[in-house]
Chains A and B, each alone.
Chain A
């Protein structure tokens, strides 16, 4: 198995598919949709074996691939997976298929470019999860922005240009900081070891003094926090979601936001554990504020998509909070919450998309009594909503409970505050559900709405399956992520102790070069 470049295939198959689609004439709508679906499905099939091939107990990277990329800089094409990234890759491939299939009727103009962007986006996302060379990671990270920018800016709603630019600049601002930090790490490593490399493993071994960590951590953390998004960096999210087409919202909520939390787990925390601990009170406070604030603001939204967008702020607050409990339960809960949020919020956006396609409005006030004309839709919506508010027996509960469990052990007060989110989420979701689904049909045009089509049912079926599977038997997921999370935790703790024992190091950049060896001297 070691000889199959599994991860490379996974990353570039969608891009190749996108290129193929662009070769088709734009008039052949069916062929374009078929090809896009085929590529996304092939990608899913290709990713599924990872679930079984992954050896949970094995530490270190699996399916590793490494080739020189830019030898002059020391950057390499280094890919690797562990339990954390495999889960997120699977989430990506599953939701990409659903997003493609869900867009058949929603996208009419420039369908060819739409599906190509969607697939190119998939390449960027999977690459981000699998790269373990920081330069490569950065390239994928930025590469993701372009197709997403196009998805919002071309296929979006009336204020799409504003939303797209806001999204782009906001994320860009964060990631530029991250680039500076990456370069700083690169030079520190080169000065210390004489090796020019962007390899994550090398940086994991790099001792960094507490003072230096703080700045570097903040640079990384801001980039990731914007992506999460953490309060108060969240205001791009409602705009982007409201304007984005359904598939864009789904991918944005389900996967792109996870890049931020993933970044914390993979980079910010293990690389800079001292600074991470130092800034933890801030991050925790912002997470808790996010949980409560997101829920309160979600409650009063008149627009369904905005409501879901703000609920994401609340849910992602749980992710960050669990992570910063820095114990087994908290981290596992955080990971579960990432997956759950991907599933249930992705599904919520699709559900909003379904009625939007039929009625061309997302305002809650324009609906009411939808259960009667749309019973199947109502039932699906109900299940997804329950998963979103974390009802036991659905996936949402597992994540939320583990987060609370971990957090309670770290600091009971945090858990108490965060648990109010449990009440508030029920309030805003049920109230929305009541106004949309229950009561008499108030608008005559809603009377004749058609229920879910077979295609739409097929899109929601796997989601509902996943909701209950994770709800009742989360162990297969947990046991795959657990070793990787334990490893991350251990790594962070080791590095923390080592950093604290270091003599106060020089500030970055001013370091006297240890015989400033030329980059050519790498190998």
Chain B
């Protein structure tokens, strides 16, 4: 392996960042676009090459580790910059580079008129570097570099249009929320290192069963802390509120970072640490419950949002919930499978939404769209595929992965989780078709201005849409249920997740499995039908429903007032406490004491100064009195 196999993959986008910084101003838009897309495209090629190499290895030793250099070594602690390719990171790597490349290409068209074109691709490439580091790292610490790195890029890209105060605010919110999660991540790492003495995956996972008793407090706390990190990054309850606000960023960013790749880092991390989570059943249970709760909760909020991107954002939160649900019930393969298919169709949905927004001259409100199907044929067609996929209609990708999650949840005895997932699936189908119908069907509600400028997007934007639509359509076929020895995706993942609890659970009988499939398809169909009735067939129904369910609608529309709650419970008290600390404690008490000492001296001196009149006579008098005292004292001896 003389030729670099792994480190070159993250290094390519990084090199593009460097080149862009150095000579970007001389490249012009075309050059910048070629540089950025070329680096990511090449990274994709290298990723394919590496994965092919991996696939060529016998199943038992399908891991490639590449050690770049020792990062730091202090006492018995050491961390390397080392990269690991195994089936899990291979899937992630392909998804990140593949979808990433498509989105880069799309952005060339989408951002063509933006004055900060170069800065955009700079950030985007930096993001690719960080994300690939995260995915390919072979220890927690290096993963953390990518982990915070993607957070940074997310911050920069959300606040890309920094002149909009709301964008800057959203960026900061995202970063801080992520930092709260990272607080957990860091402590989790510290705990693991303190107990097991290594942060390198292989070593740590090998040692873990020996130092941690299954279900003991230490491992439970460690995994919960890691999961706190995951909730931050992957926008789960309680740290999800940043993701919808993150839609302030340019749409390709929402597609790449806030749908397809970065937000799935938490799922990847949990899957990566599955040997640890399996040692802590309570943590797994928490993951499942949080995932299921988020899936349902976010889906309900998605029902009433009017901003096309916000609907998709809540849908992302909800779908991420499904992935955690899968991990929580031990079905890590299903979780990663859904991660992959979700990356396809959600990226497509965002890019499609971007295409719509682009066509409508930056209109994002669903209430001012409608009837676009004929005007934007390519966008409409691909969007329809994606919507069907996310709703779970066979044989599109989303059906296979979501169905697998639900059946695994059922099979592992989590029927409550399964039920929540099923309801969520129906809701998903409902709000996704609500979006589809409001945007593409029915009468046009466009403003005259927008109508006039309406145009289909350029090919650089349409081609990625078509590719992603194809992937959303057939991507699920690698995971067809009820196959002898597991489906293709499962067989590929087996070296990683071998022996993981949920994976080994007894397979369901074909009859149960068919029933489950029928139920989930029925749920999806119900949702679609509901949306169809409410928003297309009976125009007044939506308003009547709003009236009927007024309290619920208000709650959902205002996102259950969670932002306001956080503001009142956390932000405001901390702010006021800090003000108080500064104004009262620091300036009055602490500094007051310091100045008090000074004033005391000043006061005493003022008293003493009274004796220093400046008159010779006074001094002579004191002198004489002093001499007399001495004489008297001497005389008494």
Contact = CB atoms under 8 A, between A and B. Distances in A.
Do A and B make up one complex? yes
A408 B194 contact: yes
A148 interface: no
B145 A393 contact: yes
Interface in A438-478: 438-440, 472-475, 478
Interface string A390-420: 0111000110011011001100100110011
Contact of A438 (B69, B165, B182): B165
A362 interface: no
Given A328-B75, A393-B149, A427-B176, 8 more contacts: A296-B578, A299-B578, A372-B163, A392-B141, A392-B147, A430-B176, A431-B172, A475-B71
B163 A440 contact: yes
A423 B169 CA distance: 16
Interface in A419-439: 419-420, 422-423, 426-427, 430-431, 434, 437-439
A482 B183 CA distance: 27
Nearest to A232: B590
B182 A422 contact: yes
Contact of A386 (B73, B152, B176, B582): B152
The 6 A-B residue pairs whose C-beta atoms are closest, nearest first, are: A328-B75, A438-B168, A408-B190, A392-B145, A235-B591, A296-B578
A427 B169 CA distance: 12
A17 interface: no
Contacts of A170: 594
Given A412-B194, A430-B175, A419 B183 contact: yes
A327 B574 CA distance: 34
B481 to A, nearest CB: 40
A246 to B, nearest CB: 24
B190 A404 contact: yes
19 contacts: A329-B75, A332-B75, A371-B162, A391-B152, A392-B141, A397-B148, A402-B72, A422-B186, A423-B179, A426-B179, A430-B155, A431-B172, A434-B169, A439-B164, A474-B72, A475-B70, A475-B71, A475-B73, A478-B74
Nearest to A368: B165
B577 interface: yes
Given A420-B183, A423-B179, A438 B163 contact: yes
A482 B77 CA distance: 12
A166 B594 contact: yes
Nearest to B173: A430
A518 B583 CA distance: 56
A126 B191 CA distance: 39
B590 A474 contact: no
B148 A391 contact: yes
Nearest to A390: B148
Given A391-B152, A482-B74, A423 B180 contact: yes
Interface string A305-338: 0000000000000000000000111001100000
Contacts of A408: 187, 190-191, 193-194
B579 A434 contact: no
B264 to A, nearest CB: 19
Contact of B581 (A166, A293, A402, A478): A293
Contacts of B71: 472-475
A169 B144 CA distance: 45
Of B69, B71, B141, B147, the most chain A CB neighbours within 10 A belong to B71
Interface in B93-149: 141, 144-145, 147-149
B557 to A, nearest CB: 28
Contacts of A439: 162-165, 168
A402 B74 CA distance: 8
Nearest to B70: A475
Interface in A371-397: 371-372, 386, 391-393, 397
B581 A434 contact: no
Interface in A219-246: 232, 234-236
A300 interface: yes
B145 A405 contact: no
A392 B180 contact: no
Contact of B73 (A299, A397, A478): A478
B159 interface: yes
Nearest to B78: A475
Contacts of A409: 194
Contacts of A83: none
A364 to B, nearest CB: 14
A297 interface: yes
A427 B183 CA distance: 13
A497 B444 CA distance: 85
B255 to A, nearest CB: 23
Nearest to A389: B179
B3 interface: no
A300 B582 contact: yes
Contacts of A300: 575, 578-579, 582
A301 interface: yes
A392 B194 contact: no
A416 B187 contact: yes
Of B147, B162, B575, chain A has the most CB atoms within 10 Å of the CB of B162
B183 A423 contact: yes
A327 B75 contact: yes
Contact of A419 (B171, B186, B194): B186
Interface string B51-87: 0000000000000000001111111110001000000
A327 B183 CA distance: 22
A369 interface: yes
B567 interface: no
B211 to A, nearest CB: 15
A516 to B, nearest CB: 32
Nearest to A170: B594
Given A431-B172, A478-B74, A401 B141 contact: yes
B187 A296 contact: no
Contacts of B190: 404-405, 408, 412, 415
Contacts of A328: 74-77
B586 interface: yes
Nearest to B147: A392
A397 B141 CA distance: 11
A381 to B, nearest CB: 13
Interface string B180-224: 101100110011011000000000000000000000000000000
Nearest to B145: A392
Given A297-B578, A392-B144, A422-B182, A235 B163 contact: no
Nearest to B116: A375
From A166, A170, A329, A439, name the one whose CB has the most chain B CB atoms within 10 angstroms.
A439
A430 B154 CA distance: 14
Given A297-B581, A299-B578, A392-B149, A404 B162 contact: no
Interface in A134-191: 166, 169-170
B311 to A, nearest CB: 27
Contacts of B75: 327-329, 332
A225 to B, nearest CB: 14
Given A391-B152, A398-B72, A419-B186, A405 B577 contact: no
A408 B188 CA distance: 11
A422 B162 contact: no
Contact of B191 (A327, A412, A437, A472): A412
A95 to B, nearest CB: 23
Interface string A24-37: 00000000000000
B541 to A, nearest CB: 42
B273 to A, nearest CB: 18
Given A293-B581, A296-B574, A426 B149 contact: no
Nearest to B594: A235
B179 A329 contact: no
A367 to B, nearest CB: 13
A294 to B, nearest CB: 10
A166 B145 CA distance: 42
B266 to A, nearest CB: 17
A416 B72 CA distance: 23
Contacts of A386: 152
A422 B70 contact: no
